[in-house]
Amino acid sequence: MKIIKLLFICVLFASCNAPKIAYDYDQAANFNAYSTYSLFPDFRSGLSQLDEARLIRALDNVMQQKGFSTADDPDLFINIYTEKFQQQSGNSIGLGVGGGGGNVGVGVSGGIPIGGPENYLKMTIDFIDKSKDNLVWQAVVDVKFNPNARPEQRQALFDKVLQKALDGYPPEK
């Protein structure tokens, strides 16, 4: 029984930092026709130069696993842009006071937030058909981001996020 409780707690904590991903795509696009890619000519991720290099390294690894290769004249341009934002922690302590008598009851309660705001990274990944100059696939990912993380932790985060995001490519029609 203790093992089941421990497993449940581990799954709960692991799921708290899982990226949240939303997909959209052009239903008329033939995703089987794409085999090469390149970064969008005006690629600017919004990350630091070091983080951008980590992001591109993670992208290249995932795209190669999917059977894509880089090319000077690609089928797809890939553009990734990011936005950092903070969100108030969802953890709070609830306090309440109540009283009553007879058929009347009165209560007042409130929550006191615990901890400070949490840092998030919103990453938008666009696949653009070069020949048509048309967006054909997009993933938007929200994930917790630690701005004080070590370089290897940052690389692991980008690897994880891009792997999860590109699991939705090609879309199942």
- Average pLDDT along the chain, 173 residues, taken 10 residues at a time: 50 59 95 96 93 97 96 96 82 70 72 76 96 96 93 97 95 81
pLDDT at position 151: 96
Q: What is the DSSP letter of 98?
A: E
pLDDT at position 2: 56
Q: What is the DSSP letter of 32?
A: G
Residues in the chain: 173
pLDDT at position 90: 65
> pTM (2 decimals)?
0.75
CATH 3.40.30.10 fits 19-88+116-166, yes or no: no
Domain boundaries, the chain: 19-88+116-166
pLDDT at position 4: 54
CB 78 within 8 A of CB 126: yes
Integer Cα distance of 123 and 71 in angstroms = 24
pLDDT at position 59: 97
